[in-house]
A and B are shown apart, each in its own frame.
Chain A
Amino acid sequence: MGAAGATRVETRTGAEVSATLPGDVASKPGAVAAGSRPAKTIDVREVNLFYGDLHAVEDVTMAVEPNKVTALIGSSGCGKTTFLRSLNRMHELNPKARMTGEITLDGQDIYAPGVDPVQVRRLVGMVFQSPNPFPTMSIYDNVAAGLNLNTGRVKKSVKDEVVERSLRGAHLWNEVKDRLEKPGSGLSGGQQQRLCIARAIAVEPEVLLMDEPCSALDPVATLAIEELIGELKSKYTIAIVTHNMQQASRASDITAFFNLEATGKPGRLVEIGATEAIFTSPSEQATEDYVSGRFG
């Protein structure tokens, strides 16, 4: 954190975007649009990630800015998914996983002793590559599942409200409102993914992490999810891992490019900047080669 308690991210659009940490959200520059709420910043400092002896990610320092979509791109095995998972401590589900450095959510260290990883994951939700609704549960119960886990018993009327709000938020309500008791597995792939997004936002997280959320979807469902992502950023901080360059360029505000120096070497952050700059004039040759598709 800088002297003024602010973290600065060079966006390469000429201007610096600064976000105050922690709290004091009202003073945040970059004005949050009407009908939106200020979300939280994830600050990553000198993070290294390991699986046993394998050094997966090396020395990443960056910010995931509030009310913006940050795309993490890079070839397979460059550590971007591992990195994404470290943002809500999900990589710890692997018992050999280890992390050094610091990750804060609006100034609060999410790895501090005494911080409950389950609580972190409530604040920082995850949407996965293949839609994974609970297959035997109804659409309604799928959305309410996180609610039950996180807050214990909830009144039916409150639950109804949350389920409707979440399904509306995920652009799914109109399609499923008459069959809420039917199993979630009966929905199409795109609908299932939106159901998973509804489930993720039902617990009102601060941050949404998405790991290739459209890779199993057809182009129309993909565009629907991208549009939804564009709307969700008015309420949440969003980080998305994608292999689809056009998706990164369409759906994100900021793009971070991860790369391996060589096979067996850890992944590292090569360049982060405004998506527009990354796709028109990146600073690094490696970024240029990757986004241009010249990468072997």
Chain B
Amino acid sequence: MSTGVRVGYQEELERLEASGLGGLEMVSVALNRTLEAVEHQDVELAQIVVADDDRIDGRYLEVHQSLITLLATQSPVATDLRLISALLHVLKNIERMGDQCVNVCKMIPLTGNEPPADEEMVKRILAMGGQTKTLISQAKRAFEERDIELARDLVRQDDIVDDLNRECFRLALEIGDDADKREWAMTMLLAARAIERIGDNAVDIGEQVAFVVTGLFREFEDASHPSA
């Protein structure tokens, strides 16, 4: 029924959605580098991730400002209003995901050049990262395609990340009495926790997909009132 009215506004909104969700690709790149830095104790690569986070923040600020301008000048309502509201949320999620990559990367120098790494724990952290990348791309696709089922499936995907995180915790508990090893394990637990939070942010994006489509906001999983 669209008859070519407000074309410029529609195009701008589409452009901002693409640009905002493009932030997820930037996060994916940052996470890739983060995992590589973890795997190889690459302090320099970690520093690049930290510096590059400014680009993610820049994207956030740019799209956020343009969305506010659309709100001020175009009085969006109905689906457009829900989309803009969701994008403002999602931008914040993306910005947080970037920050979590930074958090992980800042821990890498702390572990030293040749840390007493536990291979099992590193394996699980890398697996968490790989699974989180799946979550990020799935969240992006769910938003682009307004696919609630795909969005809802993020919860299941995120459970895998959560399980791996718990395993990291168990491994850290069992790491032994060596002080250096224990310090390394504690630091890596914080890294695992940061990656786990990236997964949570992806699930939050899925919730915004449901809001855009249905107009109802419901948490897929309420951490403060778990159903089980």
Contacts and interface: CB of A to CB of B under 8 A. Distances in A.
Interface footprint category on A: 10 to 19
A281 B6 contact: no
Given A245-B75, A245-B77, A246-B75, A294 B82 contact: no
Interface string B68-85: 000000011111111000
Nearest to B81: A280
B228 interface: no
B170 to A, nearest CB: 45
Given A280-B215, A281-B215, A288 B4 contact: no
Contact of B6 (A280, A282, A287, A293): A293
A289 B77 CA distance: 10
B3 interface: yes
Contact of B77 (A279, A295, A296): A279
Contact of B79 (A249, A286, A288, A293): A288
Prevailing SS type, chain A contact patch:
helix
A214 interface: no
B73 to A, nearest CB: 12
B78 A282 contact: yes
Contacts of B6: 292-294
A78 to B, nearest CB: 15
B223 interface: no
B2 interface: yes
Interface string B58-101: 00000000000000000111111110000000000000000000
A291 B10 CA distance: 14
A157 interface: no
A280 B78 contact: yes
A285 interface: yes
A249 B81 CA distance: 13
A286 B214 CA distance: 17
Contacts of B78: 279-282, 287-288, 291-292
Given A280-B82, A280-B215, A292 B1 contact: no
B179 interface: no
Q: Which of B3, B6, B77 has the most CB of A within 10 A?
A: B77
Contact of A292 (B77, B214, B215): B77
Interface size class of B (residues with CB under 8 A): 10 to 19
A288 B3 CA distance: 13
B5 interface: yes
Interface in A239-296: 245-246, 249, 279-282, 285-289, 291-296
A295 B81 contact: no
B7 to A, nearest CB: 10
| B75, B78, B80, B81, most chain A CB atoms within 10 A | B78
Contacts of B79: 281, 288, 292
Interface in B26-82: 75-82
B213 to A, nearest CB: 10
A115 B3 CA distance: 46
Nearest to A296: B3
B82 A296 contact: no
Contacts of A280: 77-78, 81-82, 215
B11 to A, nearest CB: 13
Interface in A5-44: none
Contacts of A245: 75, 77
Nearest to B1: A289
Given A279-B81, A280-B215, A292 B76 contact: yes
22 contacts: A245-B77, A279-B77, A279-B78, A279-B81, A280-B81, A281-B82, A281-B214, A285-B1, A287-B78, A288-B78, A289-B1, A289-B2, A291-B77, A291-B78, A292-B77, A292-B78, A292-B79, A293-B5, A294-B1, A294-B3, A294-B5, A296-B3
Interface of B: 1-6, 10, 75-82, 214-215
Given A249-B77, A292-B78, 20 more contacts: A246-B75, A279-B78, A279-B81, A281-B79, A281-B82, A281-B215, A285-B1, A286-B1, A287-B78, A291-B77, A292-B76, A292-B77, A292-B79, A292-B80, A293-B5, A294-B6, A295-B1, A295-B3, A295-B5, A296-B5
